Amino acid sequence: MPHDYQFCFGPWNLSEGQDPYGPTTRPTQTFDWKLAQLKSLGFAAMMFHDDDAVPDIDQKSAAQILREAGELKRRLDGEGIVAEMVAPRLWFSPHTIDGAYTSNDPEHRRYAIERSLRTIDIARVLGTDLIVLWLAREGTYVREAKDPARAVEHLVTALDRMLAHDPTIRLAIEPKPNEPMDHAYVPTIGHALALATLTRDPKRVGALIESAHCILAGLDPGDEIAFAMAFGKLWSLHLNDQNGLKFDQDKPFGSTNLRSAFDQVRVLERNGYGRQGEYVCFDVHPFRTTRPEHWLAHLDNSRRTFLRLVDKVRSFDEARARELVAARDYQALDQLVIEHLLGPA
């Protein structure tokens, strides 16, 4: 049976246009403004970094963090918006310059774990059991700078501490092969799921897949999604697009490769993504050139494209596709997909 999807984005997806070479191009907006935009677009949920939920988190006591998280929860409830996940932002602090869980400095590794435990506390107050771990600086610029086997041990230690802190939370690792690091230690979904097996509770360690991150690893996002779903481990999703091997572009979903976007949606449909309450999140950014009056278009467009592709998947002639597969006529299968996407002449 076809089902409906629930959509989500984070406050960082209404970014102000800064890049490494230039300042913002749109005025800074408050969190309240971003929440109001999410509501106006009819999205059901918001994702959070720990300091999106509790700003200046490192300056606050555990009690104050819980109090502010409680205030946010009441605001979200008042707006009818769900918190989809909380992710520790472990890449800003002076304590995470050389990585967080895999830093060479034991004090810094301790900081990263403690901060992650606060993230879990926030998530519980916000009513979500999902912790997302984008392992931003867990890798190297210089290969000899760290011991890669030790790095695995450090990662498992950190995951185990989080799992022990709260027996109800689930950890979703968001793999990315590079940027900001030259090479990351958990570049693909296979690495994430392999890491899960070393933890004290593998069934509570899963994954979040981002389309652009798969492309940066030279992999097919639809295949990565299918791989995670085959293990029952796809607990969240960041749909977007990426034009080849360059900086992480976070382009609107389908913007570069509509056929790959179709394939991603087809995999989601065929494997029942969303049936356990998983959200479709768009980790997309406005182009730097976007004027303030067009600030929401990348999110609205990503959802429009996604929903159009759901229709395309549901109206695809699967029976004909099966015949062509049985006849090993992949040339005709290729054209069947192309003409279906093109629509009537």
CB of 117 to ligand XUL, least distance (A): 17
Q: What residue 234 binds from ligand XUL, Mn ion, none (CB within 5 to 8 A, per partner kind)?
A: none
Does position 108 interact with Mn ion (CB under 5 A)? The reply is no
Q: Is residue 49 annotated as part of the catalytic site, yes or no?
A: yes
Q: Whole-number minimum distance, CB 109 to ligand XUL, in Å?
A: 19
CB atoms within 10 A of CB 111: 19
> Phi first, then psi: what are they for 208, rounded to 5°?
-125, 130
Selected from 109, 161, 176, 191, the binder of ligand XUL by CB under 6 A is 176
d(CA 262, CA 341): 8
Largest Cα–Cα distance of the chain, in whole Å? 66
**Is 285 a residue of the active site?**
no
**Could you say which of 3, 19, 32, 49 is catalytic?**
49
Q: Is 137 in the site for Mn ion (CB under 5 A)?
A: no
Q: Hey, how many other C-beta atoms are within 10 angstroms of the C-beta on 291?
A: 10
DSSP per-residue codes, 226-263: HHHHHTT-EEEEEE-B--SSSS---BPTTSS-HHHHHH
CA separation, residue 232 to residues 172, 205, 209, 235, 272 (Å): 12, 11, 13, 8, 11
Structure tokens at 97: 């310059």
**Any contact of residue 238 with Mn ion (CB under 5 A)?**
yes
Give the span between the Cα atoms of 239 and 202, in whole angstroms.
Answer: 25
Cβ(177)–Cβ(187) below 8 Å = yes
Strand 170-174 with 130-134, pairing = parallel
Of 240 and 260, which CB lies nearer to ligand XUL in the complex structure? Answer: 240
Nearer to ligand XUL, 87 or 299 (CB): 87
Place of tokens 């092969």: 177
The single residue of 50, 51, 52, 283 carrying the catalytic annotation is 52
Question: x/- binding map, residues 279-318, to Mn ion, per CB under 5 A?
Answer: ----x-----------------------------------
Pick one of 115, 234, 283, 286: the residue that binds ligand XUL (CB under 6 A).
283
Does residue 285 interact with ligand XUL by CB under 6 A?
Answer: no
Among the listed residues 154, 148, 162, the one whose alpha carbon sits nearest the alpha carbon of residue 200: 162
269 binds ligand XUL (CB under 6 A): no
Among Mn ion, ligand XUL, none, the one that 34 touches (CB under a kind-dependent 5 to 8 A) is none
Residues in the chain: 345
Rounded to the nearest whole angstrom, what is the least distance from the CB of residue 125 to Mn ion in the complex?
23
Out of 50, 51, 84, 210, the only residue in the binding site for Mn ion (CB under 5 A) is 210
Kindly give, in sequence order, each residue whose CB lies less than 8 Å from that of residue 11, ignoring residues fewer than 6 positions away. 31, 34, 35, 46, 48, 52
Residue 20 CB, nearest distance to ligand XUL (Å)? Answer: 14
Binding pattern to ligand XUL, positions 64-103, x when CB under 6 A?
-----------------------x----------------
Verify binding: residue 204, ligand XUL, rule CB under 6 A.
no
Chain residue at closest Cβ approach to ligand XUL: 134
| Residues of the shown chain interacting with ligand XUL in the complex, contacts defined by CB under 6 A | 87, 132, 134, 174, 176, 210, 238, 248, 283
Residues forming the active site: 49, 52
| Residues of the shown chain interacting with Mn ion in the complex, contacts defined by CB under 5 A | 210, 238, 283
